[in-house]
């Protein structure tokens, strides 16, 4: 129909997407074989069968396990390039891409291996696809702030290639305030600040991300709706919230479609919040950016104008300059 065609054609930005979450089972098996590692699953189909999650942690366990096949610069190039081609085919024009250095550093894969692979793919995406990609390095919140600081220090030689820092992984009992010092250090380096908050954790964690960490955009932020003063603050300050509908379905943040429709309806139709749609970890959640738009269009019966606003918001909430924004949208 016309709305679906519009979803495909409208220029979009993607602001919440984890590079490691784009590792499709086929590539996972291919890289395992290429690197002489035992295959993590017997087949791509078996992998997809295993991707049934009861919560965030049950997903993260498989997600980090899958990363074990990523060893060489070429592996990271191939991973990033496959995602960029897919994104470009969906008319994504700008990406602020998350990656998790600690997941690789822990396995003795250094910045000097993974970053050049990712950066080569970014350069090729610009040249061959006209796709603009910037990188946001995420700290793993299940690890210590000391480890995050050490990671930031190791990233310093690559400062010019980084747009910002984020915070991801297990949220329960890991309040943002634990990472106040490292966010202060990142800010002093001129890095932009975002964090996952209010995915499984309470609205209080969204406040902490804003007040203690100084984040300029909130990832997920679903539970913000539980605090009306917070919703007002997010509206007034025009703080972007990166919604990830299929992720929330698959990780049971939404128990069912009716709940998804109720909550997403509040964010998208009933408030003035600066929200847009994102895919989070598409290889694990069964859908890329367009699938997320199609899902939300279906459950909320969105009209073209409402889809257009979400797409426009994706650029408004990005860290593009006003001049760049005009170019891409």
Q: Which does 56 bind (CB under 5 to 8 A by kind): ligand ADE, Zn ion, none?
A: ligand ADE
CA distance 4 to 176: 38
Our answer to whether residue 199 is catalytic in this structure is yes
Q: Which of 199, 216, 235, 257 is catalytic?
A: 199
Token pair 């894969």 in the structure block, residue: 109
Q: Pick one of 247, 279, 297, 314: the residue that binds ligand ADE (CB under 6 A).
A: 247
**Between residues 53 and 84, which has the closer beta carbon with respect to ligand ADE?**
53
Q: What angle do CA 206, 196, 167 make, to 5 degrees?
A: 115
Q: Is 212 in the site for ligand ADE (CB under 6 A)?
A: no
Q: Is 56 in the site for ligand ADE (CB under 6 A)?
A: yes
Q: Pick one of 12, 17, 21, 319: the residue that binds ligand ADE (CB under 6 A).
A: 21
Q: Pick one of 280, 283, 317, 329: the residue that binds Zn ion (CB under 5 A).
A: 280
Q: Is 199 in the site for Zn ion (CB under 5 A)?
A: no
Select the residue whose beta carbon is closest to Zn ion and give its number.
Answer: 280
Q: Is 96 in the site for ligand ADE (CB under 6 A)?
A: no
* Six token digits for residue 328: 């891409």
CA distance 56 to 215: 22
Select the residue whose beta carbon is closest to ligand ADE and give its number.
Answer: 168
Q: Is 281 in the site for ligand ADE (CB under 6 A)?
A: yes
Tell me which residues touch ligand ADE (CB under 6 A). 18, 21, 56, 168-169, 196, 199, 247, 280-281
Residues annotated as part of the active site:
199
């Amino acid at each position: 129909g016309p709305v679906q065609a519009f979803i495909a054609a409208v220029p979009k930005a993607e602001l919440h997407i984890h590079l490691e979450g784009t590792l499709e089972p086929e590539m996972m098996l291919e890289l395992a074989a290429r690197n002489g590692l035992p295959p993590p699953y017997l087949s791509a189909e078996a992998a997809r069968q295993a991707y049934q999650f009861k919560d965030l942690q049950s997903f993260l366990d498989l997600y980090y396990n899958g990363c074990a096949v990523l060893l060489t610069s070429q592996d990271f190039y191939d991973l990033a390039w496959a995602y960029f081609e897919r994104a470009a085919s969906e008319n994504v024009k700008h990406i602020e891409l998350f990656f998790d250095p600690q997941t690789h550093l822990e396995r003795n894969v250094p910045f000097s291996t993974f970053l050049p692979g990712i950066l080569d793919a970014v350069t090729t995406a610009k040249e061959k696809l006209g796709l603009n990609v910037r990188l946001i390095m995420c700290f793993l919140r299940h690890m210590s702030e000391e480890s995050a600081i050490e990671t930031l220090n190791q990233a310093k030689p690559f400062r010019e290639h980084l747009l910002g820092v984020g915070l991801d992984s297990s949220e329960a009992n890991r309040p943002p305030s634990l990472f106040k010092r490292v966010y202060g250090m990142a800010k002093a380096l001129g890095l932009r600040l975002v964090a996952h908050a209010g995915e499984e954790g309470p609205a209080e964690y969204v406040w902490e991300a804003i007040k203690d960490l100084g984040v300029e955009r909130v990832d997920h932020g679903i539970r913000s709706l539980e605090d009306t003063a917070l919703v007002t603050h997010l509206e007034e300050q025009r703080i972007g919230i990166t919604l990830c509908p299929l992720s929330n379905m698959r990780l049971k943040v939404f128990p069912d479609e009716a709940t998804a429709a109720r909550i997403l309806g509040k964010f998208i139709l009933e408030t003035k919040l600066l929200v847009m749609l994102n895919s989070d970890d598409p290889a694990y959640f069964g859908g890329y950016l367009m699938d997320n738009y199609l899902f939300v269009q279906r459950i909320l019966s969105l009209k073209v104008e409402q889809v257009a606003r979400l797409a426009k918001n994706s650029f408004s909430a990005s860290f593009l300059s006003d001049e760049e924004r005009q170019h891409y949208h």
